[in-house]
Amino acid sequence: MIEFKIPEVGEGIESGTVISILVKVGDSIEKDQAVLELETDKAVVEIPADVNAIVEEILIKENQEAKIGQVVLKLKKSTATKTETKVEDKTVKTETKETETTKTVQPKSRVTKTEASASPSKDLIPAAPSVRRIARERGIDLHQLQGSGILGRISIHDLELKSSSQIASPQITLPDFSKWGQVKREPMSGIRKATVRAMATAWSNIPMVTHFDKADSGNFEAFRQRYKKLAERKEIKLTPTAILLKIVATALTKFPDFNASIDTNSQEVIYKDYINIGVAVDTPNGLLVPVIKNANQKSIFELAQELSELAEKARNRKLGLADMQGANFTISNLGGIGGYAFSPIVNPPEVAILGVSRSRMEPVYNKITASFDPKLMMPLALTYDHRLIDGAAAARFSLWLTQAIEEPLFMSLD
């Protein structure tokens, strides 16, 4: 009998939600055949079998949380080979009889033990006795913690993080909403769970400031319209976000602090020689952020093509973990939906994010003519980690962005 465990699926990934089980008891499966789909870190990953076998038992259900290293299937290894098929009938009958005898004389206690291990107790949480004692003293429920150690083992550090979050943001006790009318409860999707964890962690650990600005996007839009048809002939959709990707990638080469991360353990700043930019994509399943790798090395048309392909994969839930990892900076463009301003949240270990709202015609004062001229203004919101980036640095970064938007050729001139 073989115990099939959830394998490592990515750096830092410790658990996920089983959204689909692709096999049933009695199925013969082959090595590298997908046996289940795991939704983790906002991506859906197919988990393949690592051996030819027969499914004997399924130890998990769909929409259930599973940890890396957890046993989810029990398999019986397929031992039939070409040599065995040529064995004489007498030998085969003898082996079959021996197998039946073995099954008959198997101790009942062993079966009971196996069944018990298939349904582990909820109280069996990987944590040292000292950790359990401290958790009891602080009133922390270990079932509500996501351990950072191997196979989800809970450490003292995890308790400290939980304690600090409880002080900063105490748990809210919900009332009984059914007293006022009918209600319906639905379980969170894996994507929503990941968003809850990520946003709560970011908000409680990063001192964020948002710098607001506006750019005259008349030349920007004229530039896009001028080359829109050329892009269409190449079967490329030239969107404002694609051009912004090029502008931001160029800005990050000039302002390295915005392309860095903070290592609080070693008290160091990590500067990166590569420029990877995440782009927030709205999907029916929630917000996903695919990453454009080496954005500074690609043309606007290349960025537009890659962005279109990744956005389509995001909406069809086909993004892999590699498509969503490694970002140094993020762009969130809500201009296609609406609104005149918003304050985006920095996604650690990044230190900044750019929010873009819908451009609209506004009266702008002209000093030369002493009159107000109609201008197409693009609202920008730059949220940054104040531990690394000061207000003056954010203002300079934002000023450079506005100049590049107002005159797209500025990037080549500067």
Positions annotated as catalytic residues are: 386
Can you say how many angstroms the Cα of residue 219 is from the centroid of all Cα atoms in its chain?
A: 35
Cβ count near 211 (within 10 Å): 18
Burial label for 252, CB within 10 Å (0-12, 13-18, 19+), is buried
CA pair distance 135, 140, nearest whole angstrom: 5
DSSP H or E stretch at residue 376? strand 371-385
Burial label for 6, CB within 10 Å (0-12, 13-18, 19+), is buried
Start-to-end CA distance of the chain, whole Å, equals 66
CB 359 within 8 A of CB 376: yes
Which tokens in the block code for residue 355? 């929010």
Determine how β-strand 277-279 pairs with β-strand 268-271: unpaired
